[in-house]
């Protein structure tokens, strides 16, 4: 095995949050760890391109979605020119299937990072996951879903997403926070941070708010994010008579300043791969109410740094939120435990080491195959 592994990363997200932010952490960690050479393929004008240039050679190309055959041809040309040892596919949009096909055509070892726990049809799974030599799941929950759909467990490795704990552990500037969002001095700030899509469970939280206000009248609710359900959710606040208690705060790029000022983060998702906002809240020392789905129990230890309830149960959400908001000692204890959990289980260093370990295993398998005279997948 050569001392230096050449890796071509494909990240098609246009904004620098979620998966794209994880890719940035990985590239920066690989740069500092040495032993790899990294190339990043990303969409033109994406948020990751300018900030990743000191950690990888960046190739910006047009990306138009899952059926963009032009992307397939452009990626083939890049792989034939760069000749990487491994192609690492980090996102679904336009990257997973087309990227896997590209790897097969060029005979390049391929690893896919799976960040969501959405179920896929078993016949499709059997076809799709043959494209990849290895699969990295960001949580045990995702690994279980893939196993149940027929992906061989030996093909998968769990490497948890990471949080930059130092970035989110700063002091809370509550005077700025209250002024920024127009909150009264005695407000108990409850936040949720997720796309406004059905599986994130925002409707359950809205249904829970009247009950929370009975037990914690000072509670105010900040919805961070954007998405197709925003209009419907706003209309529901009117129907429930809670419009004055809920603020739709949009997408923010300063969550490291906002999160330490929250009294509680509520994440009522019906499905969730892991939940980066949960890791960020834990690092900020914020107690969490979440649901018992996907990878959430890995980020929220029930009774330790938060409380977990069944999905789709607004009454349980209300009870859990009121308990934390009304017991100051409990909230403080959970906040401290969250900081510990974020630092120990979800560090950037651990995430980088996990990915690097997969690359090294793939290269050992490659060398073993060459010694036996085996061809690389897709080779002629």
Kindly state whether residues 32 and 45 are assigned to the same domain: yes
Are residues 354 and 267 part of one domain? no
Let me know whether 303 and 256 are in one domain: yes
Helix (H) / strand (E) element for 206: namely: helix 202-215
Closest by Cα among 87, 130, 122, 129 to 108? 87
Whether the Cβ atoms of residue 351 and residue 162 lie closer than 8 Å to each other: yes
| Residue closest to 361 by CA, chosen among 23, 1, 114, 99 | 1
Q: CB-based contacts of 118: which residues, under 8 Å, 6+ apart?
A: 199, 271
> Using CB atoms within 10 A of its CB, is residue 303 exposed (0-12), middle (13-18) or buried (19+)?
exposed
Is residue 284 domain-resident? yes
Which residues 6+ apart lie within 8 Å of 311 measured at CB?
201, 204, 268, 269, 270, 291, 292, 293
Handedness of CA 27, 31, 36, 38 (dihedral sign): positive
* Alpha helix positions (H), 12-66: 19-33, 48-52
Same domain, 115 and 40: yes
| The pLDDT of residue 372 | 59
Q: Rounded distance, CA 300 to CA 302, Å? A: 6
Instruction: Tell me, yes or no, whether 157 and 248 share the same domain.
Output: no
* pLDDT for res 116: 87
| Range of the structural domain that residue 298 is part of | 165-345
For Cα atoms 196, 270, 135, give the angle at the middle one, nearest 5 degrees: 95
Please check whether residue 377 lies inside any domain of the structure. no
Q: Do 19 and 153 belong to one domain?
A: yes
Residue 219 backbone dihedrals phi, psi, to 5 degrees: -65, 140
Same domain, 256 and 132: no
157 in helix, strand or coil? strand
320 and 174 in a common domain? yes
Question: What is the b/e burial string over 148-167, where b = at least 16 CB atoms within 10 angstroms of the residue's CB?
Answer: ebebeeeebbbbbbbbbbee
Q: How far apart are CA 196 and CA 224, in angstroms?
A: 9
**Does 380 fall in a domain?**
no
- What single-letter DSSP state applies at residue 10? E
Same domain, 73 and 182: no
The reply to whether 379 falls in a domain is no
Contact 334, 305 (CB under 8 A): yes
Q: Is residue 378 in some structural domain?
A: no
* CA 203, chain centre distance (Å): 21
Q: What is the C-alpha to C-alpha distance for residues 271 and 295, in angstroms, rounded to an integer?
A: 9
Supply the CATH number for residue 191's domain: 3.40.50.2000
The answer on 224 and 320 residing in a single domain is yes
**Do 354 and 312 share a structural domain?**
no
Is the residue at 314 inside a domain? yes
Say what the pLDDT of residue 94 is. Answer: 62
pLDDT tens digits for the chain (380 residues)? Answer: 457 999 999 999 888 888 899 999 999 999 988 899 999 999 999 999 999 999 999 999 998 877 778 899 999 999 999 999 999 999 777 688 999 999 999 999 999 999 988 888 878 888 899 999 999 999 999 999 999 998 999 999 999 999 999 999 999 999 999 999 999 999 999 999 999 999 999 999 999 999 999 999 999 999 999 999 999 999 999 999 999 999 999 999 899 999 999 999 999 999 999 988 999 999 999 999 999 999 999 999 999 999 999 999 999 999 999 999 999 899 999 999 999 999 999 999 999 999 999 999 999 987 766 655 554 544 43
What is the DSSP code string of 40-63? EEEETT-SHHHHHTTTSEEEEE--
**The total number of structural domains that make up the chain:** 2
Whole-angstrom Cα distance, residue 86 to residue 202? 39
Q: Do 91 and 36 share a structural domain? A: yes
Helix, strand and coil content of the chain, in percent to the nearest 5, comes to: 50, 15, 35
């Amino acid at each position: 095995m050569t001392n230096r592994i050449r890796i071509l990363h494909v990240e098609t997200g246009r904004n620098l949050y979620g998966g794209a932010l994880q890719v940035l952490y990985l590239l920066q960690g690989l740069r500092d760890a040495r032993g790899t050479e990294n190339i990043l393929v990303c969409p033109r004008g994406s948020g990751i391109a300018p900030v990743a240039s000191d950690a990888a050679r960046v190739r910006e190309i047009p990306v138009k979605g899952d059926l963009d055959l032009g992307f397939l041809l452009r990626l083939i040309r890049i792989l034939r020119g760069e000749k990487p040892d491994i192609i690492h596919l980090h996102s679904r949009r336009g990257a997973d299937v087309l990227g896997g096909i590209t790897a097969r055509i060029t005979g390049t070892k391929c690893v896919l990072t799976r960040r969501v726990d959405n179920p896929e049809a078993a016949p499709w799974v059997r076809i799709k996951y043959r494209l990849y030599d290895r699969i990295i799941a960001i949580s045990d929950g995702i690994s279980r879903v893939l196993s149940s759909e027929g992906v061989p467990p030996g093909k998968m490795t769990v490497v948890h997403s990471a949080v930059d704990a130092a970035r989110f552990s700063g002091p809370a500037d509550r005077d700025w926070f209250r002024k920024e969002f127009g909150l009264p001095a005695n407000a108990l700030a409850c936040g949720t941070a997720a796309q406004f899509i059905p599986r994130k469970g925002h409707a359950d939280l809205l249904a829970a708010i009247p009950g929370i206000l009975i037990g914690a009248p000072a509670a105010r609710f900040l919805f961070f994010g954007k998405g197709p359900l925003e209009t419907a959710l706003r209309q529901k606040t009117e129907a429930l008579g809670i419009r004055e208690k809920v603020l739709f705060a949009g997408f923010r790029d300063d969550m490291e300043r906002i999160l330490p000022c929250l009294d509680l983060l509520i994440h009522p998702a019906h499905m969730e791969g892991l939940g980066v906002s949960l890791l960020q809240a834990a690092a900020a020392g914020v107690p969490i109410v979440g649901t018992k789905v996907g990878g959430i129990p890995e980020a929220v230890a029930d009774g330790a740094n938060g409380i977990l309830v069944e999905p789709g149960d607004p009454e349980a959400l209300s009870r859990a939120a009121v308990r934390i908001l009304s017991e100051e000692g409990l909230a403080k204890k959970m906040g401290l435990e969250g900081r510990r959990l974020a630092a120990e289980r979800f560090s950037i260093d651990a995430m980088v080491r996990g990915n690097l370990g997969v690359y090294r295993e793939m290269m050992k398998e490659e060398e073993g195959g060459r010694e036996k005279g085996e061809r690389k997948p897709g080779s002629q």
